[in-house]
Amino acid sequence: MSQSEPDLLGQLGGMDGVRRVVDEMYVRVLADPELTHFFDGVPIEKLARMQTEFIASITSGDIQYTGADLTKVHAGRGITGVHFSKFCGHLTDALEANNVSSHAIDQVLGKLAMYSDKITGSSNVDG
């Protein structure tokens, strides 16, 4: 990365950009009949704040994720690799809708993929 090139968080528009992406992503996720039931009874505003912090933390070394342990919070929910992939698809769509470059999107998805086993309880992302 050159001195003038922003870090990945900067390429997403900073915290405000990540917040916009996360808000748009949850509109899409909650409209998805295969995913929406995972969020029944979940306070979406709080979840969106934690998701914003999480994405910011994996895209910048300067931000610490302070939310719940990912393995514990997702355990027993029946989330498969297929669900994880669909979630990532909605994230991709939200990133594209916010004019994030394809290179930055690939980087975000690569970083997020490192956590798939914590979310699905399996090392197989494809389900």
C-alpha dist (Å) from residue 70 to 48, 54, 75, 124, 125: 14, 10, 8, 17, 16
Domain holding 24, by residue range, is 8-120
What are the pLDDT digits (tens) for 15-46?
999 999 999 999 999 999 999 999 999 999 99
Inside any domain, residue 125:
no
Inside any domain, residue 54:
yes
Inside any domain, residue 126:
no
What are the pLDDT digits (tens) for 54-65?
999 999 988 999
CATH no. for residue 80? 1.10.490.10
Q: Based on the structure, what is the number of domains in the chain?
A: 1
**Binding-site annotation: residue ranges for heme:** 74
Start-to-end CA distance of the chain, whole Å, equals: 34
Residue 125 pLDDT level (bands cut at 50, 70, 90):
very low
Instruction: Write out the E strands in the chain.
Output: none
Inside any domain, residue 105:
yes
∠ CA 68-69-75 to the nearest 5 degrees?
Answer: 110
pLDDT surpassing 50 at residue 78: yes
Q: Is 33 exposed, middle or buried (0-12, 13-18, 19+ CB in 10 A)?
A: exposed
Q: How far apart are CA 75 and CA 85, in angstroms?
A: 17
Inside any domain, residue 26:
yes
**Binding-site annotation: residue ranges:** 74
